[in-house]
Amino acid sequence: MQYVTRNRFSVPVNSADVSQSWRERGYSCDLFIDPPGREWNDFIHRTDEVVTVVEGQLSMTIEGEEMIANPGDEIFIPKGANHSVKNVYSDTTRWLYGYGR
């Protein structure tokens, strides 16, 4: 499955543009701010999820497939998929996430 769309949004990422795009596609849009090394492990949701890095870099693992997400990339996480996220950037990473409705 194709999880990553590279450069889906132009850099620097405009959060309002991402929010509007996701809203039009039926997703919410909220912000996470994670310090270096922060991990979110083994999550499963009942809805599809999308993630876009605004600033920094994330390591994402979806159903055992690891990828690096950079600013502007969009990651699609299908409902029911086991996934983990880690800030692998040397500083704070800011990222947007949205759940399908």
What are the structural domain ranges in the chain?
4-99
Residue 101's pLDDT is 81
Q: What is the pLDDT of residue 38?
A: 97
Closest CA to 55 of 70, 42, 68: 70
Question: For 45-99, how does the pLDDT look when each residue is reduced to its tens digit (9 = 90+)?
Answer: 999 999 999 999 999 999 999 999 999 999 999 999 999 999 999 999 999 999 9
Length, in residues, of the chain = 101
Give residue-wise pLDDT tens across range 25-37.
Answer: 999 999 999 999 9
Rounded to whole angstroms, the Cα distance separating 7 from 100 reads 21
Give the model's pLDDT for residue 25: 97
CATH number of 4-99: 2.60.120.10
When pLDDT is averaged across residues 9-33 and rounded to a whole number, the result is: 98
- State the number of CA atoms in the 13 A half-sphere of 28 facing the CB: 10
How confident is the model at residue 1, as a pLDDT?
80
What pTM does this model have? 0.95
